[in-house]
Structures are given as structure tokens and as C-alpha cells.
Amino acid sequence: MKDIQSSADHRGIEIQKVGINDVYMPFMIKTKEGGFESVTSRIRFTVSLPKEFKGTHMSRFVSILNKWSGQPIAEPEMEKMLDEALYRLNATSAELAIGFKYFVNKVAPVSGEHSVLDLDCAFVGKKSKGENFIFELGVDVPFTSLCPCSKEISDYGAHNQRSLARINVRFRDGYDCIYIEDLAELVENEASCPIFPLLKREDEKFVTEKAYNNPKFVEDELRDLVLAMRKIEGLEWFSLECENFESIHNHNAYANHEEYIE
């Protein structure tokens, strides 16, 4: 049966990325506590395609992923999948991005009630032939923000809302990536108040007053996070996006920032 994909191409164009998108697969993610959490992942897996070939082999991407279906994956496993893609697809560069919902444990601030909070996370791995493996972690952390202007000018009350910080980090060679749990905590420390799925009345009083005592603009959240990120040892690059789903508008306050650390 003819292999059309392997036939010669004469257009002279090397394709930067080609592969599969929106594939879903289950994986296991190592938790900070040392166990594993099952996640449902949405995947994009691509390679570069040399100008000599008409097409890549799409089924091989699925075949590579399949071996890890339902298995624990972290940085080393991401690199193995990329190495196999480079080899089996004759590519000079490969990229694998997986997104998944991950649950972290939360303890209500007064009652001590336990619950689990969902965070949208991403692992992105990149590998080029003869170069080091690059790994990026992305975590979206919801939190409460309370408006300093509204508090200042109003006789009572202050508008507040659900907000989201989207963080991506990349570490220098020789440094391990941070845990999802730690990145989430780092965001929550800079928020007007963290978010909890389960709050009893005494907790609700606590978070209401804490947010009121700790007003922050989207600019404050972003800047305080930048300062916190700069203190992380071994961090090479990060990007931040903060968004407040304003309670008084039908649109959002938004800020973003990206930084390479010397």
C-alpha cells in the first residue's frame, strides 16, 4: 500500500509544526504529597516536517501517546515522548502540550473543613535535536479580588469578584520545576483572599473581612506576583495574566506581564 506521506515534496517549505490537536487521553500526575492524581488531558502534539517530505505520519503521534495512556507522566516522560517523536517522525523539533484539570486540597480558614479545588493546568514540553529539553508548567488559579478604589470612596462595602491568575513558568537547567500546589499557594498569598469550595459561616465571615482588609487592583495582584516570582530560585522565565470578572461590569479588568530572569 503506497505511503503517500513519505513521497517527495518539491515546494521547498519546511513546516514549523504539524501533528494532531484536541486529542483526549487519561494520564496520572504526581502530587506534592507523593501520590498520583488521574487527569483527563487535552493534547496537542506536533513536530517540524523537513521540506523533502510530503507529509508526516499522524497515526504515530497517537501511537506514541498510547503507551503512556493512564500512566504517570512528568518532565522525564514528556521528554521520552518527544524523543520518540523526533526519531520516529524524522523531525528536528517536537512539541507536546497537555492541558488538564487538577484538584488541590483546601482547608477552610476557621472551621478547618476540607474540600478540593479544581485548577486548569498545562504541561508543555519542547525538544530540538541536539538541544536541551524545555519544560513549562502552566497553572490557572482562581481567587477573590476586592477593589481599593471602591473601598476608598464608598461609605460602606466594596465591590469584589472572582478573579483568575494564569501563570506559566520555566526553570533553568539543573533546577526542578515547582509543584502545582506551590504555584497555586504563591498566587493565593498575593490575592485579596484565596477561594475555597467549602466554607461554613465562620469561614465566610473570615474571607469577607480578609478581602475587605486587603484590597487589590488587578495591577496590584500582577505586581505582587511579579515580586513573588522573582524570588523563586532557578526560575528562568515566567508569564502572568490576571483577570478580574468585575462584579459591577459585564467585562473584565485585565493585565499581563512576561519576564526573563537574568
Residues 229-258 that bind its own copies (CB under 8 A): 243, 245-258
Helix-helix angle 58-66:75-88, to 10 degrees: 150
Phi and psi (nearest 5°) for 240? -135, 140
Site for its own copies (CB under 8 A): which residue of 8, 11, 174, 231?
A: 11
Site for its own copies (CB under 8 A): which residue of 34, 112, 174, 201?
A: 201
Q: Is 115 in the site for its own copies (CB under 8 A)?
A: yes
- Measured at the alpha carbon of residue 17, what is the angle toward residues 138 and 177, in degrees to the nearest 5? 25
Q: Which one of 77-85, 86-94, 181-189, 206-214 is the stretch in contact with its own copies (CB under 8 A)?
A: 206-214
Site for its own copies (CB under 8 A): which residue of 109, 144, 169, 191?
A: 144
User: Which string of x and - marks every residue 29-58 that binds its own copies (by CB under 8 A)?
Assistant: --------xxxx---x-x--x----xxx-x
Site for its own copies (CB under 8 A): which residue of 126, 161, 171, 190?
A: 161
Q: Name the CA dihedral angle for 228, 232, 237, 239, rounded to a multiple of 10 degrees.
A: -30
Q: Is 71 in the site for its own copies (CB under 8 A)?
A: no
Which of 248-255's residues contact partners 24+ apart within 8 Å by CB, and which partners? 248/150, 248/159, 253/217, 253/218, 254/218, 255/218, 255/219, 255/221, 255/222
Q: How far is the CB of 203 from its own copies (least distance, A)?
A: 9
